[in-house]
Amino acid sequence: MHGASNNGKPLRKRIKDIRRQELAEATLLTLQEFGVNGTTVQRVSERAGMSHGLVHHYFRTKADLLEAGVRLTNARITAEVLALLERAKTPRQRIAAVIEGNFAPSLFTREIAQAWASCSGEAAFNESFARVMRMIYRRLMSNLLWDLKKVLPPQEAVVVAQGVAMMIDGAWLRRALESGQFTREQAMKPIWIFLEANLPKEAGE
Amino acid sequence: MHGASNNGKPLRKRIKDIRRQELAEATLLTLQEFGVNGTTVQRVSERAGMSHGLVHHYFRTKADLLEAGVRLTNARITAEVLALLERAKTPRQRIAAVIEGNFAPSLFTREIAQAWASCSGEAAFNESFARVMRMIYRRLMSNLLWDLKKVLPPQEAVVVAQGVAMMIDGAWLRRALESGQFTREQAMKPIWIFLEANLPKEAGE
Amino acid sequence: MHGASNNGKPLRKRIKDIRRQELAEATLLTLQEFGVNGTTVQRVSERAGMSHGLVHHYFRTKADLLEAGVRLTNARITAEVLALLERAKTPRQRIAAVIEGNFAPSLFTREIAQAWASCSGEAAFNESFARVMRMIYRRLMSNLLWDLKKVLPPQEAVVVAQGVAMMIDGAWLRRALESGQFTREQAMKPIWIFLEANLPKEAGE
Amino acid sequence: MHGASNNGKPLRKRIKDIRRQELAEATLLTLQEFGVNGTTVQRVSERAGMSHGLVHHYFRTKADLLEAGVRLTNARITAEVLALLERAKTPRQRIAAVIEGNFAPSLFTREIAQAWASCSGEAAFNESFARVMRMIYRRLMSNLLWDLKKVLPPQEAVVVAQGVAMMIDGAWLRRALESGQFTREQAMKPIWIFLEANLPKEAGE
DNA sequence: GATGAATGAGGGTTCATTCAT
DNA sequence: TATGAATGAACCCTCATTCAT
């Protein structure tokens, strides 16, 4: 077997994937440190340990690079939520998993929140960012609704889900802007108050 | 009466105030159309119908100009809330006024929400923006707490206020990102559900 | 007598002279603090306590303003030298007066030396500056030669005068660049050594 | 030999050095033609036949570029002096070499003198320029003192060296400002008169 | 595949100068 | 006479992008 077929892909393809992954990772970290505005191709390439020319070899444009970075963040959140969801059984446990996942200690850091806020701000004027942010929101909503609809009438479920989603977004924004501590406990407390008040007493048990 | 006495200020002084106001307004509109990133001195000056040199005659630096624009938005929100608060009597009415004010039809537009989101995103990496955004937040919290503390034990009041604030921020962000309609009614519904569940039945009546 | 003829000049003419004098003075001080490069019309007008618009009322162009400032410096040096020359009797005393005048404690300051150096540097590329600097040089040379020729053969006198002039210029440059002290005594010592070696023993006594 | 090994440096590194050298040279010439004030990045880049953007690729800042230009001049003077010093044997010969070097026909041109004067003027208000100019001065002094101290008591040597240095600076300034000819012979004559009067008769022979 | 050389558009800012009041 | 409003050219610098090697 001479060199070919790692995972059924030719070596060249593999390198391409690896480099793109590395660059997405570097972009993600640069976004955390400098925000969308301060994320230059130069800085990303430096963090990735490549020449800046190479970046354009793998990403046609800076926008593409940024999108890759944001998608990676997205993937991380997804993974966190999925891991928690796996162990959850009842609707209430599953709802708890979604919320816990969105405030996982490894995620709910000031740096990530800042990057997230920066991307959200950019999304208002940048369709490619907007797409990703909307996707994140839709998955959150769908996760919440899936279980809420099991214990609440549909229309009520939608309102509750929206309320929770609003609180989650608001909490992340607060995390980004509050230089002092805004802890995940502080963030989750009103969310649970809101939920407890709306879930049927025996809900999902 | 020979010529003088416009408000007791000489004409010259007036012009300075007028231009600064015009520029702040132009900045605000440019922020709405292009976001923080896309708001260049050139664009603001064009919208204001001035040369770009003149901008620096009235604002030492671009940061000063932007701050003026953001403060103007802030002032508009404040005015809206204050107008509603004046007519409010009971704590519950006053809380309602604060919430209604934050979703006044003239304010809760997609354009303004986009500008707001953009500024929030910038605030994560820009102390001058951060200051203004924190100020807005603190005033919101203080407005809410003032009345909540009248009807709830202090610690509970804080949590409820935080929950409402989170929802308001989350709603504005949703307004900015959702190209489809996200109405003020949709925004306020979960907020009131949250409040009703936490306010004592007879609260403020 | 209504208003006219102060010094045979109409009042309006007087004001013009006063303002020009004030501005020349302010220019001189600004040159000392910021150098030619850093001397802006704005800064000069501020120091003079006028609006910057007024500057162009009295000086057609910035170059004219600067020239006035440099000429004023020149006048100060001249006055210093003339005052000392008046009391001098013998050629040697007169030569001493010229040298002492060029290093008068009130003149040979770091600030003035810096302004002088800055103007000299500019003179290389600015004919109007060059004219003034050359005039200063020529008067120095003529002062020195007048007396040196009384005690030395003409050709020798020219060389000695040139040597002294070179040393004076070199000393002023040193004063400007040496942040540590370079005193007038240090400056004059080699000059006198040079002179003593070339003047006839009984010269001018 | 396959392609590599230009001085042991990869081609890439070579280009960087070449461009920096070219730019330093272009800066030097621009300084001669326009002075510090008139030396813009644009002009330098044009003279070097590059885009202005490229200048910032090789020099982080305009100040760095100017420093490189000044250092290059400095290096030229040094080389000239060193070449002459090599052939000198006795202290007197070595002193002569230092002086001749400072007035080498290829150096003591009006253009170079003008650039030098401009840089000196700038040095009064610009620490980075001041550093270079002081360095040049210190090397001159150390060169002179090294040999003067062999033939004169230390304190006397210092004064003589300072006198010579003052004369050299004064001569260069004269060269810059005198549109008519001020020749190297004119410059050196009083210097030698000064030296002969102070060196012991048999000095260094 | 990988580098960094090279370009050029665009940004913020300064400043001399003109002009209406 | 005096002010400062207004303009526009020029400057330094950053950055995404292209391209030869």
D51 CA – F8 C1', rounded, Å: 24
- Cβ-Cβ contacts under 8 Å between C and D: the total is 158
CATH number of B126's domain? 1.10.357.10
Strand F and C51 CB separated by under 7 Å: yes
Gap between the terminal Cα atoms of chain C:
56
- The answer to whether B198 touches B160, Cβ cutoff 8 Å, is yes
CB contact under 8 A, A122 and B121: yes
Query: Residue C205 — very low, low, confident or very high, per pLDDT cuts 50/70/90?
Result: very low
Best mutation target among A40, A110, A111, A118 (most B Cβ atoms within 10 Å) is A118
CA distance C55 to chain D (A): 23
Counting as contact any 3 or more CB pairs under 8 A, the partners of B are A
B184 CA – F10 C1', rounded, Å: 50
pLDDT value at residue B2: 45
Strand F-contacting residues in B 46-105, CB cut-off 7 angstroms: 50-54, 56-58
A34-81 residue pLDDT tens: 999 999 999 999 999 999 999 999 999 999 999 999 999 889 888 988
Give me the mean pLDDT over the D146-152 stretch.
96
pLDDT for D2 beyond 70: no
B37 CA – E4 C1', rounded, Å: 28
pLDDT value at residue D5: 42
Tokens of B201: 């039945």
B2 CA – E5 C1', rounded, Å: 69
Residue D143 neighbours by CB under 8 Å, 6+ apart: D81, D85, D98
Residue in D120, D160, D191 nearest the CB of C121: D120
CB contact under 8 A, C36 and D121: yes
Residue at D1 is within a domain:
no
Q: What is the mean pLDDT of chain B?
A: 91
Query: With left for phi above 0 and alpha for psi between -120 and 50, is residue C106 left, alpha or beta?
Result: alpha
Residue at B133 is within a domain:
yes
B84-125 residue pLDDT tens: 999 999 999 999 999 999 999 999 999 999 999 999 999 999
D47 CA – E6 C1', rounded, Å: 16
pLDDT for C6 beyond 80: no
Residue at D204 is within a domain:
no
Residue at A3 is within a domain:
no
pLDDT value at residue B184: 96
pLDDT for C11 beyond 80: no
Task: Determine the protein residue whose CA lies at the shortest distance from the C1' of E12.
Answer: B62
Give B182: exposed, middle or buried? Use CB within 10 Å, 0-12, 13-18, 19+: buried
The C-alpha atoms of residue D52 and residue A74 are separated, in whole angstroms, by: 41
Query: Residue C24 — very low, low, confident or very high, per pLDDT cuts 50/70/90?
Result: very high
B178-192 residue pLDDT tens: 988 899 999 999 999
Checking C137-145 for CB contacts under 8 A at 24+ apart, the result is: C137/C165, C137/C169, C137/D174, C137/D177, C139/C78, C140/C98, C140/C102, C140/C165, C140/C168, C141/C165, C143/C81, C143/C85, C143/C94, C143/C98, C144/C95, C144/C98
Give me the mean pLDDT over the C13-36 stretch.
93
Residue at D4 is within a domain:
no
pLDDT value at residue C203: 45
Residue at C78 is within a domain:
yes
Residue range(s) defining the domain that contains residue C57: 11-198
- DSSP string covering B24-93: HHHHHHHHHHHHHHH--HHHHHHHHTS-HHHHHHH-SSHHHHHHHHHHHHHHHHHHHHHHHHHH--SHHH
> Percent of chain D, pLDDT > 90?
83
Tokens of D44: 């330098």
CB contact under 8 A, A124 and B35: yes
Residue in C115, C170, C189 nearest the CB of D167: C170
Q: What is the mean pLDDT of chain C?
A: 91
Sign of the CA dihedral with B57 first, then B61, B62, and B65 last = negative
B10-67 residue pLDDT tens: 555 689 999 999 999 999 999 999 999 999 999 999 999 999 999 999 999 999 999 9
A75-98 residue pLDDT tens: 988 898 899 999 999 999 999 999
A116-173 residue pLDDT tens: 999 999 999 998 899 999 999 999 999 999 999 999 999 999 999 999 999 999 999 9
**CB < 8 Å to C158, chain D:** none
Name the domain count of chain D. 1
The C-alpha atoms of residue C138 and residue B194 are separated, in whole angstroms, by: 91
- The answer to whether A123 touches A136, Cβ cutoff 8 Å, is no
CB contact under 8 A, A173 and B169: yes
pLDDT for D145 beyond 80: yes
Residue of D nearest to C190 (CA): D163
Q: Which amino acid is at B88?
A: A
Query: Residue B203 — very low, low, confident or very high, per pLDDT cuts 50/70/90?
Result: very low
CB contact under 8 A, B37 and A37: yes
pLDDT value at residue D1: 42
**CB < 8 Å to D197, chain C:** 193-194, 197-198
Residue at C2 is within a domain:
no
CB contact under 8 A, B121 and A165: no
Global confidence as pTM: 0.90
pLDDT value at residue A78: 87
D16 nearest nucleotide via C1' and CA: E5
pLDDT value at residue B77: 85
pLDDT for C3 beyond 90: no
pLDDT value at residue A202: 61
Alpha helices in chain A (DSSP H): 11-38, 41-48, 52-58, 62-87, 91-102, 110-123, 127-151, 154-177, 184-198
Strand F and A47 CB separated by under 7 Å: no
Q: Of B43, B100, B91, B96, give the one whose Cα is nearest residue B69.
A: B43
Residue at C3 is within a domain:
no
D91-112 residue pLDDT tens: 999 999 999 999 999 999 999 9
CB contact under 8 A, A118 and B114: no
Strand F-contacting residues in B 8-37, CB cut-off 7 angstroms: 12, 15-16, 19
- Cβ-Cβ contacts under 8 Å between A and B: the total is 158
pLDDT value at residue D54: 97
Nucleotides of E under 7 A from a protein CB: 1-21
